[in-house]
Structure 1
C-alpha cells in the first residue's frame, strides 16, 4: 500500500512545486505593474494621479509648484525644467514643460520616473498630460520639449495634514533604457541589410 501511495505523493509534490514556481514567476512579472497601480491609487511615495481633465472647481487659494529634474549618470542627456516654479490656483489647469537634449555622440533612449513631495500631496496632484514612463529616443545632439499639463485637486484643502501647504515639488528622473544599445544595434543592422539589397 505504501508503494502504491508513494508515486501519487511524488506526483502531487511535483505538481505543487511546479505550480508554486509558475505562480512566483507570474508574481515577479506582475509586481511592477501592481506596485505602480497601488502607488497611483493611494498616492504612496508621492505618486501623482492621472486625469482626463480638471474637476471644474477652481479655488481662489494659490499654491507654488516647483519643478525638479535629474538624470542618471549613465544617460548623456541635459535635462531641466523650462521654469523652476510657478504659482497656480488650486483646481486650475496649468502647463509647464521640461527640455531634454542628448549631449552624447550617438542615439540614446531614456525613460522618466517621477514623484511629488511632500508625499502626502501625491493623491492631489493630477497630471492630464505627461512624458513619464514613456520611452524617449533622442538622436545625438537632438533637443526636445516635453510638456506637462496638471492641476492640484481642490480636495487638498480638506486634508488636515496639508491645510497649510504652500508648495509642491514635482520631480522627474531620467534613466537609460536597458535595451537601448540593442535597439540601436538592431536598427543599424536593418539599415545595413537594406543598403546591401540595393
Structure 2
C-alpha cells in the first residue's frame, strides 16, 4: 500500500469519525425517545384512563455552570396525583444579566424504568427559551403517568418519579428581536 493511499485512508477515517461525533447526540436522543431508555419521556395528548392509585412527582431544577440564569423548580417540589391524571407544574427562570440569553432545557426522569411512562403533553423544554435582561418567566410543563406503568415488571413498583431539568445556554436563534436597549456608541472629542 502506498503512503499516499494510506494518507487518504486515514484522512477519510478522520472525516468519518468527526461526522459520527456530530451525529452521535441526535441519534442517541432519537434512540432514547423511541425506547424510553435513560429516563427519556414520551410526548402525548393526555390519558383516557385515570386510576385510583396515587404516584408522587418530584421536581428538580439545575443549570449548566456556564448558564447565567437563575432557574428554580416549582415552589411545591412534590406533587401527588392519580396515575393517568394530568398534572401541571411551573418552573421559573430569571435572567439577572444585562444581555439577552437563550437557553434550552434537557430533561431526565428517574427511576429510568418509569421514563417511558412519564408523558409530557406540553413543556417549555420542547422549544428554545429567550430571556431579555432582567426578565423572569414562569414555564409550564403538563404531564401524566401512563397507566401502562402498572403492566411493567419493574416500573409498577415505582412510588415516586423525579422530573429533572438542566438549562444550557445556546446561541440566540435567528430572527429573535432583542428588546434590550442599544448600547451607546463611543463618542470622540
TM-score class normalised by the smaller sequence:
0.7 to 0.9
Q: Secondary structure at the match of 2:137?
A: strand
Aligned structure 1 segments of 4 or more residues deviating by more than 6 angstroms = 9-15
Q: Measure, in 2, the Cα distance between the counterparts of 1:18 and 1:71.
A: 38
Pair 1:63 & 2:52 matched: no
Q: Once the 2 structures are TM-superposed, how far is the Cα of residue 162 of structure 1 from its aligned partner?
A: 2.5
RMSD: 2.7
Pair 1:92 & 2:85 matched: yes
| Equivalent in the alignment of 2:99 | 106
Q: Measure, in 2, the Cα distance between the counterparts of 1:24 and 1:73.
A: 29
> What do the CA deviations read for 1:138-192 (whole angstroms, capped 9, x no partner)?
1111011111011101111112212222111101011122x35x98xxx79xx79
TM-score, normalised via structure 2 length: 0.80
Q: Quick check: 1:113–1:133 contact (8 Å CA) kept in 2?
A: no
Structure 2: gaps (5+ residues): 184-189
Pair 1:31 & 2:31 matched: no
Number of equivalences: 177
| Equivalent in the alignment of 2:69 | 77
TM-score, normalised via structure 1 length: 0.77
Name the larger-Rg structure. Answer: 1
Structure 1: gaps (5+ residues): 1-5, 193-198
Pair 1:123 & 2:116 matched: yes
More helix by share: 1
